[in-house]
Amino acid sequence: MGEDMSEGHEHVPSRQRRRFPGISSRAYEHPADRSALVALRKLSGFDTVFKALSGLLPERSLRLLFLSDSVRVSDQQFAHLNDMLRDACYILDLEKVPPMYVNQDPVPNAMCIGLDEPIIVVTTGLVELLDEEEMRAVVGHEVGHALSGHSVYRTILLFLTSLAVRVAWIPLGNIAIMAIVTALREWFRKSELSADRAGLLVGQDLQSSMRGLMKLAGGHHLHQMNVDAFLKQAEEYEAGGDLRDSVLKILNVLPRSHPFTTVRAAELKKWSQSRDFQRIMDGHYPRRSEDKDTSVTDSFRESASHYATHVKSSKDPLMKLVTDIAGGAGDLGDRVRRGFEGFTSTPAREEPRRDDDASGERGGDS
């Protein structure tokens, strides 16, 4: 399905961008995403199993559907997107250019799916919403998915989500499948952060990446929005509220395949200022040729270290509580009680008036 890279980088990008020959997707992958992928790549017979699954998954149907009812990007159709796609594959050194389709849908969206070979789909809503440099970051995002092999797991997630609806009538059947779907969604949210980083490596323009994310959140009214104010929302979201809000954040994000847009923007800006990003831009990054020698244990250790650092530095009330538990704080019981006050209609620190209370006074703190 893919096109050979030797056929076509004759279109020169609008400005000079750094290229990353032989770059491994491990260079930009989020630690949690990377550890999962390294482990899966090490599994003996993994590719064989998923190729066998391809007969069950609706991949052929999807390919035929896009071919018959969408517009395939080429030199003759959406040529500017074709230039961006080839440029992104050139920068990330992806050997084959995945087929790309534009699908009529007013909702701005893009995805990379496929078991055997990835295909990229963008909606007309997205094409109409973003300018050239913003769209370049999105195309780089999807090429990053392709290079990491995310399309395989995205396809399985789509299949399982559909299957969960079909077996909802079977006792416990839906619960078992949704447990897998929930775990896949958690991984996929991290893979989206990885792909955002790939988009930045392709576009090499942080402001364009930020603008694109703002438009996904607030539409095309860019003159009414401000990057700093948008990032301030992410800080307020992370640090605001009490333990009740922390629990609600978890519940809100569980059904989503993508992190919240402000969170993505904040994560991308943080990574753009990191030493890891600078090293990649300086040409120091892991190569694809070294992937087979990657240690699963080391990858999981890096992932665990990342989460530990995230918990310690987080301003979220629940994360702070976790840090205090690890540090052995002495007033945890009282702090938990105060954090969850308000979940019931009667405040936790007040007892209801009792009919047999002669004094007529309210009880003390519980």
Cα–Cα dist 92/21, whole Å: 7
Residue from 245, 303, 309, 236 nearest 266 by CA: 236
Beta 71-72 vs 100-103: how paired, if at all? antiparallel
Cα–Cα dist 287/109, whole Å: 31
Q: What is the pTM of this model?
A: 0.69
Return phi, psi of residue 160, to 5°.
Answer: -70, -35
Residue 30 Ramachandran class (φ > 0 left, ψ -120 to 50 alpha, else beta): beta
Q: Dig out the tokens for 351 from the structure.
A: 């007892």
Element (H, E) at 260: none
**List 133, 134, 142, 267, catalytic entry:** 142
Tens place of pLDDT for every residue, the chain, 366 residues?
444 443 444 444 456 899 999 999 999 988 877 665 555 555 444 455 555 555 555 566 677 778 888 999 999 999 999 999 999 999 999 989 999 999 999 999 999 988 778 899 999 999 999 999 999 999 999 999 999 887 776 776 666 666 555 555 555 555 655 666 666 667 778 889 999 999 999 999 999 999 999 999 999 888 999 999 999 998 887 776 555 655 665 556 665 667 789 989 999 999 999 999 999 999 999 999 887 766 545 544 554 555 455 545 555 454 454 454 445 444 544 544 455 455 444 444 444 444 444 444 444 444
Cα–Cα dist 289/295, whole Å: 14
For residue 142, indicate whether it is catalytic. yes
Q: Dig out the tokens for 304 from the structure.
A: 């665990």
Q: Dig out the tokens for 193 from the structure.
A: 């952060």
DSSP 346: S
